A and B are shown apart, each in its own frame.
Chain A
């Protein structure tokens, strides 16, 4: 078969990113520590270029390349664009934090970019193996990033825990994949889906494989009961890595679930819907209730992530296009919100002081009313209170599941979001009603101010006019 180079056009962003990372790795070797900013700027430039390429190479019809293992469709474009944007912000937040801790090294950015590459491959995966490869590239980068502060015992412990459990989950996933391959004789998602539609229902082997796959997905997303790593990793990692895991990798996680469960195992919807209902109920319950008991801000946000993953899966389990787009909207909104929340944690930290206790939020309104206001928007968005966009994210998900007559699940979900509102309110209380513990001025840089303000105001703007993002998400799932 004749293949021209033009055929690889849909994968140009990934190809560019890979080349750029390799170049960056070499350039970084020849830089002194004082000129590390070059690496920083080059990685930002790489991300920006990738973003432009992602948007520029977009085509309306889905295109499949590399022997059907790589797909470029609207969902992929949108998710990749958001991954690039989010990681751009993560890198911007991270710079000062890393500098004052002596962690400002090129490897951080190179690993971060490799993670982006992994996420992009995952998002475009059209074959069980390419999905797996993308996931592993992301995971391996993450393990290394968690352990990046190698002198910190807590970080090493977190990395170890993450690695061991993550490897186990990958093994479980591969086992599920191998069963699927044994049954159907194909790794291609479309062919797999056709096979399952023909003979999948009632097939014990397929059900077993499905269980393995769902366990692995739940682990990677951090859904209860496979959530044990989440609080420890969030707490132990350097905060820029935490925000990377909490925001960008959740977007990739959504794509992973979509490709695997919906594109590949879609015909087994009846089976996985029940499994997801259990995961959702447990995640909402454990996430929201245990978050109340936390005194550490990063751990609280970790449990809040678990609860949000519950909502994310809620949209998917509806099994309708409306549900998938609601879930996609939820994921993107959640990623932007959590990005801002950890941005504030980073902002409050300074040399030798990690502002990861809830009490460190005390009196933020006295210290800096503007950032307190930004955090207020972020927290209310997490709680799902209008006029922030978090409300619409929850609304779309609720709409999707009420549409498939699961209104009892909707009632339980909103009940838990009221419980969840309590700990977000408590954080607001600390910022606005309490006196500050220390009055020192915040060490804010201009870049930080701009990025964090944009981040916070975006939540408000999207809340007042959510239509554009919603349309984008709906169009992404027009097959």
Chain B
């Protein structure tokens, strides 16, 4: 434990930095943004090293009275679920800043400020232990993203960004009603940990579960409420797509872990078939949809939905495993840990793929697969990065993409053979759509003069893609530190949800 408020610093430093960038204007905006996001990332080092992997209690807690009238507290704290996602957020933001260094020329200061403020708010979501604080961060985050897509996005950006905002807003407000309901049930407390301990009847749990489901299923996103994602991804600028895929989607998974499962375990047990069915549809059906995409960003967007299906599958097969094994915590832990590893891994891989598409888009101003072909001939260094990330996306052993998927499939076997079978199709489908795209874009004959004239990546782009490579390979080769951080919290969660909360 540290004796200084590191979590507050992680939340407010980027926000303050964003405001400074906004006020200081175009001059030096990039440099300030890089310094601030770099410092935030550096703060993760003491955070990670001081984090204790032996306790499931909240660590680095901060607790101040905020709105005494409704018992809302400024209450922060993290456990094994929050820490990896915070580090993910802090790692992606500087890369996005660097990726936008030359590319963004229109209103550069506002762009950088939006990403910094978003970073602070996203870390806020992962650290908040008070429902109102959580909700404030959760919603406030939409505003900068709305502007990022709308100001720097593609031709159809207005439609995409309004759809993005309204979809997520509709899901969230239902969650708000559920939170306020629980506030009264728990004797006027907004503390999320009090909600965990709260006994609720079956009907209450189901309604609360569905309200949360509306918020998190949209965010993660699950089939059939995923349609905002391809639109938003395609229209967003490269940095926006990267943050959206790498971090914002993880909010949904984090929400399931932090709120849905522990607050409504009985409803989760009863409705796990719903989540599992939707997850498997996402994995299989969306995998096929990805196969036919002509637009690279759209393909990666669909691939994200399919990969997120693994996260929800990994979280909710726990109940089937409990039922079959009489409460086997270790068996179920594999699924939940797999889901978490999948989230972190997908954060790096999807961000990397979007940044790769961004690199090509900056040169040729097209995202269509047919406009490329034989890129390897003119951009060999870039091509090797792209192939690596694509393989990781397809789940190649030795890369991060493999670890999470493998753990979830292993856990599914303990639940039901057919779950594992359907989930396993992703190894074929994922490989098919990713590698087919790579084949058409990177390899083959040079299709046009424009492709032949492409220049390879410069030092800045190398730095961005290289850092992501390190992360992808590190998690792939040695996932133990990540799993260690998760393990105690996962067991704690499972021990909590294996018991009924019915009064």
Contacts and interface: CB of A to CB of B under 8 A. Distances in A.
Interface of A: 365, 369, 376, 380, 385-387, 391-392, 395-396, 398-399, 402-403, 407, 410-411, 414-415, 417-418, 421-422, 425-426, 428-429, 432-433, 465-467, 470-471, 474
11 contacts: A369-B110, A385-B169, A391-B136, A391-B139, A395-B132, A398-B176, A414-B174, A418-B166, A418-B169, A429-B162, A433-B157
A387 B177 CA distance: 18
B173 interface: yes
Given A398-B180, A399-B183, 4 more contacts: A399-B180, A414-B174, A433-B158, A467-B68
A407 B150 CA distance: 35
B225 to A, nearest CB: 14
A257 to B, nearest CB: 22
Given A385-B139, A428-B146, A470-B69, A402 B181 contact: yes
If over half of A's interface residues share one DSSP class (helix, strand or loop), that class is named, otherwise mixed; here it is helix
B158 A385 contact: no
Nearest to A433: B150
If over half of B's interface residues share one DSSP class (helix, strand or loop), that class is named, otherwise mixed; here it is helix
A474 B181 contact: no
A387 B110 CA distance: 19
Given A429-B158, A466-B67, A467-B68, A411 B139 contact: no
Contact of B139 (A386, A403, A428, A433): A386
B487 to A, nearest CB: 34
Top 6 A-B pairs, shortest CB-CB distance: A414-B173, A386-B136, A470-B69, A433-B150, A418-B170, A467-B67
A425 B177 contact: no
A428 B145 CA distance: 13
Of A425, A465, A470, most B-chain CB atoms within 10 Å: A425
Given A432-B151, A433-B150, A467 B174 contact: no
B135 interface: yes
A403 B174 CA distance: 16
What's the interface size class on B, roughly? 20 to 34
Given A396-B70, A407-B177, A474-B69, A425 B146 contact: yes
A204 B174 CA distance: 40
B379 interface: no
Contacts of B132: 395
B139 A421 contact: no
B66 interface: yes
Given A369-B110, A402-B177, A414-B176, A385 B67 contact: no
Contacts of B110: 369
A410 B181 CA distance: 10
Contact of A467 (B69, B136, B180): B69
B177 A398 contact: yes
B184 interface: yes
B107 to A, nearest CB: 8
Contacts of B169: 385, 418, 421
B180 A402 contact: yes
Contacts, number: 89
Interface of B: 66-70, 107, 110, 132, 135-136, 139-140, 142-143, 146-147, 150-151, 157-158, 161-162, 165-166, 169-170, 173-174, 176-177, 180-181, 183-184
Contacts of A467: 66-69
Contacts of A426: 162
A403 B151 CA distance: 41
B15 to A, nearest CB: 10
Nearest to A467: B67
Contacts of A410: 177, 180
Contacts of A376: 143
B130 to A, nearest CB: 13
Given A395-B176, A399-B183, A432 B143 contact: no
B18 to A, nearest CB: 12
Contacts of A403: 184
A396 B72 CA distance: 12
Contact of B184 (A386, A402, A418, A428): A402
Contacts of A391: 136, 139
Nearest to A384: B173
A403 B147 CA distance: 36
A433 B106 CA distance: 12
A433 to B, nearest CB: 4
B177 A470 contact: no
Given A369-B110, A433-B158, A395 B180 contact: yes
B320 to A, nearest CB: 31
Contacts of B183: 399
A433 B151 contact: yes
Nearest to B147: A432
